[in-house]
Amino acid sequence: MVFIITFFILHWYSSAFIQSFFQHRYMAHKMFTMSKFWEKFFYLLTVLFQGSSFLHPKSYAILHHEHHTHSDTEHDPHSPHVFKDIFSLMWNTKRIYTEIQQGSFKNETAFAKRLMAWPTVDNIAHGFGLRFLFAISYVAFYIKFAPNYWWFLLLPIHFLMGPIHGAFINWCGHKYGYKNFDNGDQSKNTFFWDLFFMGECFQNNHHRYPCRANFAVKWYEFDILYPIIISLSKLRIIRLVHGT
């Protein structure tokens, strides 16, 4: 049982980390810069950590740019104030993500053209073969270590880890919590300390300061990813662009 719980926690936090650090704060907002080497390093970590639910970083960034531009309007890809439940929100997000991925949705804007892509890796990581291999490896781990079949109910979360995190953040971060700022939308801070989604549930603070690397603003708020960003900056792996 301890192996299963450890595996679940590791997969949860590694996926949440790479989505927040690389896809969101680096690709979509360029809060910091990094060398080509580290860019490829974190790109490969995205493949490893998101596994069967790999999200193409460039498409993620374009989709997220649409969210900020149209926050909580009918053009927002995933506002909980437009979609009646979290499943229709996920479905519409997937629909637009697929259009971006296939090149038929605003892929030629100035913002989109600046984004890095790694087609060789994208094709492999986005293909059925590697997704299937990751999924089979999760199942194999559970077959080996799960004490009974009830634990297999956790497997769908592994299969869809990246989109599940995204859906929860977008649903809760625009529906439940408190506001520090009037951003003209419905963005909220769901927790004072977001220990589950690496600070992503500070949507109200983030929409107010979209390029600020620290999502916590008030003294009682804590963004768990920020100390990691500072450490990576001190190690000269990244260079902060917009300060704190």
Shortest separation between residue 230's beta carbon and Zn ion, angstroms: 19
Kindly tell me which of 121 and 225 has the beta carbon lying closer to Zn ion: 225
Kindly tell me which of 101 and 204 has the beta carbon lying closer to Zn ion: 204
Kindly tell me which of 121 and 217 has the beta carbon lying closer to Zn ion: 217
Residue ranges that bind Zn ion, judged by CB under 5 A: 203
CA–CA dist 44, 121 (Å, integer): 8
Kindly tell me which of 19 and 203 has the beta carbon lying closer to Zn ion: 203
Q: Say what the alpha-carbon torsion angle 44, 45, 46, 47 is, to the nearest 10 degrees.
A: 60
Q: Say what the alpha-carbon torsion angle 4, 41, 31, 125 is, to the nearest 10 degrees.
A: -70
CA–CA dist 195, 29 (Å, integer): 22
- Alpha helices (H) along the chain: 2-18, 36-50, 57-69, 86-101, 110-113, 119-126, 128-145, 155-159, 161-172, 203-208, 226-234
Kindly tell me which of 142 and 197 has the beta carbon lying closer to Zn ion: 197
Beta bridge partners of 32: 240
Tokens representing residue 58 in the block = 């460039």
Shortest separation between residue 242's beta carbon and Zn ion, angstroms: 13
Shortest separation between residue 82's beta carbon and Zn ion, angstroms: 13
Q: Is 18 exposed, middle or buried (0-12, 13-18, 19+ CB in 10 A)?
A: buried
Kindly tell me which of 15 and 189 has the beta carbon lying closer to Zn ion: 189
CA–CA dist 61, 105 (Å, integer): 13
CA–CA dist 170, 64 (Å, integer): 10
Shortest separation between residue 100's beta carbon and Zn ion, angstroms: 16
Kindly tell me which of 189 and 203 has the beta carbon lying closer to Zn ion: 203
Closest-by-Cβ residue to Zn ion is: 203
Shortest separation between residue 93's beta carbon and Zn ion, angstroms: 12
Shortest separation between residue 187's beta carbon and Zn ion, angstroms: 5
Shortest separation between residue 29's beta carbon and Zn ion, angstroms: 6
